[in-house]
Amino acid sequence: MTLAIQARGLVKHFGEVKALNGIDLDVEQGKVVGLLGPNGSGKTTTVRILSTLLRPDSGTATIGGHDVVQDPDAVRQLIGLTGQYAAVDQYLTGRENLELFGRLFHLSKKDASARADELLHRFDLTEAADRGIKGYSGGMRRRLDLAASLIGNPSVLFLDEPTTGLDPRSRQGMWEVIEDLVSEGTTVLLTTQYLEEADQLASKIVVLDHGSVIAQGTADELKTQVGGDRIEIDVVDSVDAQRAGDALASLASGAITTDATTGKIVIPVTGGSTAIVSAVRVLDEQSIGIADIALRRPTLDDVFLSLTGHATEQPVESATPSTGRRGRRGRN
């Protein structure tokens, strides 16, 4: 099977800065892959190379089997791109912008106009179609931008931070549009700093830091990698904590921690909700009172923090080191 996107060993320097340090990437047809990483980790550079806007210093990449350096025209036939910053013209109306993009794709005037109408309707912009986009809200501009990138019916779509700056409702709307495109068979590579966005949309997540892939997998796989599910229990009487911990030993998939002062017990488990039912039953049999019991799954935020040593949306420079990985970081 031909992969929709394949990259091997992509390296890119900007002067002294090594923006990409050997990126490999495989994206299957019809899937959404989320490129996740802090500011300056190389997300946009990767997207620009894959969409033929930038040549790598070394390494290769193909889109639908066509090499991005050797055969950029064939690649451009297949792709659509919504950049991190708006590409639409401020002084034109929404409709004029889409018609212009249509003409750039060599559609006839009539076809460009029909395609513009169709996309305006699809993105809920019909009412605003004949207004200058200077007056559009951020969400409307992002939708217009996405509409423009769909003019040529791309089979592979690159979305560079498609929802940055949008309010939660507009973001949700954008997610629905992306999900629709994927259900129609479009392959999507999206970059994002929002972990919940990757969680919601992406079947595979690739985490970049300083131009290298530092982890990849499904959201669940990445979460398991940082520790998996755990049950957190507060017993009513803290003197029962140790006894409770011992009684629950058979449910644990790793070391149980008990705190005899607070009466808190943390049990790593697999099989989440089944384990919580068993835990309640065991404690009940032991007549140990439960003040609180909860299943806690690591979030992608936990993953990100543990992998990169800093939370998202925080400049790398000001991040405080919180894991041992910090030592091997730094540009080279």
Q: Which residues bind ligand ATP (CB under 6 A)?
A: 14, 17, 19, 37, 39-45, 84
CB of 332 to ligand ATP, least distance (A): 13
**Partner in contact with 19, chosen from ligand ATP, Mg ion, none, beta carbon below 5 to 8 Å by kind:** ligand ATP
Instruction: State how far the Cα of 301 lies from the Cα of 296, in Å rounded to an integer.
Output: 13
Instruction: State how far the Cα of 5 lies from the Cα of 47, in Å rounded to an integer.
Output: 11
Residue closer to ligand ATP, measured from CB, 19 or 128? 19
H/E element holding 52? none
Residue ranges with strand state E in the chain: 5-14, 17-27, 32-36, 58-63, 66-67, 79-82, 156-160, 187-192, 204-209, 212-217, 230-235, 257-259, 264-268, 290-296
Residue closer to ligand ATP, measured from CB, 80 or 83? 83
CB of 18 to ligand ATP, least distance (A): 8
Residue nearest to Mg ion (CB): 44
Residue closer to ligand ATP, measured from CB, 60 or 84? 84
Which residues sit at the interface with Mg ion, rule CB under 5 A? Answer: 43-44, 84
Contacts of 266 (CB under 8 A, 6+ apart): 230, 231, 232, 233, 256, 257, 258
CB of 249 to ligand ATP, least distance (A): 45
Residue closer to Mg ion, measured from CB, 38 or 154? 38
- Residue 59: name the closest of 10, 23, 24 by CA: 10
CB of 40 to ligand ATP, least distance (A): 4
**Partner in contact with 309, chosen from ligand ATP, Mg ion, none, beta carbon below 5 to 8 Å by kind:** none
